[in-house]
Amino acid sequence: MTPDQLTGVIPPLVTPVDPAGAVDRDALARLVAFLLDAGVSGLFVGGSTGEVALLDSAARRAVVEVAVATAGGQVPVLAGAVDTGTRRVIEQSRAAVALGADAVVVTAPFYVAPNDTEIVAHYRAVAAAVDAPVIAYDIPSAVGARLTPPVIAELADAKLVVALKDSSGDLAGLRETLRLVRPGFPVLTGSELIADVSVALGAAGIVPGLGNVDPHGYVRLYRAAASGDADTARTEQDRLARLFTIISVADRARIGFTAAALGSFKAALALRGVIGHPGTLPPLSPLTPSETAAIAEILADAGLSLA
């Protein structure tokens, strides 16, 4: 896989499940087809939006199998290998590659609070053990450890990773990373809200969770931003920012942020007829009918069709 393939919009797919909590393979295939029809450049399964921390081994295998089979080589499939320690990440990475994943997306280890030296050693071990490209994933809100710009530059220079997914939310840090990494090293933003600015700064692509709900909008935004049409990109970004308010609909006194955000994405996809069941995995609580109705209103206001 070449750096040129890590550009554009690469949504981190939700993991559709049936009422019993098993991966809904048919719904996932429909979601992949929906995204491909919108013109996305890649698919990222088993990420934070895909409830990676809640998937068992069978579910991890299922999402890779369905994405690879449905994509049929049209775009690369990236698979999350996210866990607490290096051995577990290597095991997950090898399993994903054996199922056809084109690359693995790897965070720093969490729970153990590694320092920068240990983080670099982690990526060195994964890169040596896995016969596929490794993409670094910086999401300190979930992992607790930051991939700092100097660490990312070190990983890039040593060719231990082929790209970065930056979900830090730190625009200044993104700018510094882009300044430090070697030319041609793709940096992808995970932000729904500063995607236009990130691409204007030099980000190679966008990995937005909201891209499940409105992939066409993010493809329009990316193409405008990448071509230098800042006005069109800003207009699209403003519309998507309003759409992103679906994550704030749920009563946060009743459920947590993750349940509210991922539940809103799945509710929106169910309302659009892409998936059948909007449920999340335990311990995440479901949205209420009134919350789902409020999401439907926001979708309509954003000009999105409902089933």
Q: Which residues are catalytic?
A: 137, 165
Q: Is residue 168 within 8 Å of residue 140, measured between CB atoms?
A: yes
Give the single-character DSSP code of 225: H
Burial state string for 205-216 with b = 16 or more CB within 10 A and e = fewer than 16: bbbbbbbbbbbb
Q: Is residue 278 within 8 Å of residue 21, measured between CB atoms?
A: no
- Count CA atoms within 13 Å of residue 194 on its CB side: 18
Count the residues in the chain. Answer: 307
Q: Is residue 285 within 8 Å of residue 277, measured between CB atoms?
A: no
Nearest in space to 81 (alpha carbons), one of 52, 43, 51: 52
**DSSP state letters, 27-83:** HHHHHHHHHHHHT-S-EEESSTTTTGGG--HHHHHHHHHHHHHHHTTSS-EEEE---
